[in-house]
């Protein structure tokens, strides 16, 4: 007998998508991970991105807030959704690739913002290093959004090298100052190298 996913008794891509969303969003184990080694504003941005509550162009267009195009202002290839900003945009993918190389973990392949926010749970680092890695991921969200806003509002050019440099510098500054671990250095304590 043909298995169906909803009351319509017909298989459809939409019903499959709805079922996946239902399974994902009501998975009881999911909980946003807060991290006090970065400022609250950094955690809140990542938290809002997971809830798709950021003023990206597709969201503004839904509210009839004027914009000529909803194409991503960074790559110009696809519509700018929250997920696109952090997961599928070429710039975001370059950043996650750089972070995985820097932190010496396998390449990051994410299908959703939630995947990105959960990577730290699977990296198998010691406790402090895990928290540091999580902080770096949150700072990456912060810096990607900042660069996106610089492009939209200030017409600035973007450079992956500069962006990754900012992520490293801000992560180091915030973690060192907020962790109480004044001896932390990217070169020894936790093994990351700037
Ligand atoms: Zn893009």
pTM recorded for the entire structure: 0.82
Pairwise CA distance, residues 140 & 45, whole Å: 11
Task: Give the span between the Cα atoms of 185 and 22, in whole angstroms.
Answer: 43
For ligand 1, an ion, list residues with CB under 5 A: 72, 74-75, 89
Which two structure tokens, joined as six digits, stand for 55?
């003023």
Q: 171 CA to middle of ligand 1, Å?
A: 24
Task: Note the pLDDT of residue 124.
Answer: 86
pLDDT band per the 50, 70, 90 thresholds, residue 135: very high
Examine the pLDDT at 97 and tell me if it is beyond 50: yes
Q: Which region among 14-23, 24-33, 69-78, 182-191 has the lowest average model confidence (pLDDT)? A: 182-191
Task: Return the closest-CA partner of residue 170 out of 186, 181, 154.
Answer: 186
Compute the distance from residue 73 Cα to the ligand 1 centre, in Å: 7
- Cα–Cα distance, 8 to 105 (Å, whole number): 44
Each residue's pLDDT tens digit, 15-44: 666 666 565 554 556 789 999 999 999 999
Say how many Å lie between the CA of residue 86 and the centre of ligand 1: 9
């Amino acid at each position: 007998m043909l298995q169906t996913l909803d009351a319509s008794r017909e298989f459809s891509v939409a019903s499959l998508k709805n079922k996946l969303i239902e399974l994902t969003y009501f998975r009881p184990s999911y909980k946003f991970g807060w991290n006090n080694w970065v400022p609250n504003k950094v955690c809140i941005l990542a938290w809002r991105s997971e809830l798709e509550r950021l003023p990206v162009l597709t969201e503004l267009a839904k509210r009839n807030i004027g914009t000529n195009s909803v194409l991503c202002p960074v790559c110009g290839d696809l519509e700018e959704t929250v997920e696109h900003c952090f997961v599928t945009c070429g710039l975001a993918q370059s950043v996650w690739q750089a972070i995985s190389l820097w932190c010496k973990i396998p390449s990051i392949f994410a299908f959703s913002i939630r995947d990105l926010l959960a990577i730290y749970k699977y990296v198998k680092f010691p406790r402090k290093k895990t928290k540091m890695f999580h902080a770096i991921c949150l700072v990456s969200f912060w810096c990607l959004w900042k660069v996106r806003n610089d492009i939209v509002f200030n017409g600035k050019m973007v450079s992956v090298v500069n962006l990754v440099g900012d992520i490293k510098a801000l992560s180091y500054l915030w973690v060192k100052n907020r962790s109480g671990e004044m001896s932390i250095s990217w070169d020894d304590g936790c093994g990351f190298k700037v």
